[in-house]
């Protein structure tokens, strides 16, 4: 899938400023090899529901819209 890393306290700061979204995703989805690259994030964001699921259809580069 890729790699993500945070500096000391960076993740906590992102959570406090609401620039990261927390959610739960079942391991059966995380390790499902049939899910295409880029689709796992969409599945995760849709599973949250509410207004967050609108992000699943956002363009990769919204500033080009």
The pLDDT value given to residue 2: 67
Greatest C-alpha distance within the chain: 35
Tokens representing residue 56 in the block:
């699943």
Q: Which residue has the higher pLDDT, 63 or 7?
A: 7
Q: What is the mean pLDDT of residues 7-19?
A: 91
* DSSP three-state, residue 50: helix
Check pLDDT > 80 for residue 55.
yes
Over residues 24-52, the pLDDT tens digits come to 888 898 889 999 877 888 888 888 888 88
pTM above 0.75, yes or no: no
Q: Which residue has the higher pLDDT, 12 or 2?
A: 12
């Amino acid at each position: 899938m890729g790699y993500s890393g945070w500096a000391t306290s960076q993740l906590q700061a992102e959570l406090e400023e609401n620039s990261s979204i927390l959610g739960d995703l079942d391991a059966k989805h995380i390790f499902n090899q049939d899910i295409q690259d880029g689709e796992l994030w969409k599945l995760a964001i849709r599973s949250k529901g509410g207004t967050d699921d609108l992000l699943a259809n956002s363009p990769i580069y919204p500033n080009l819209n």
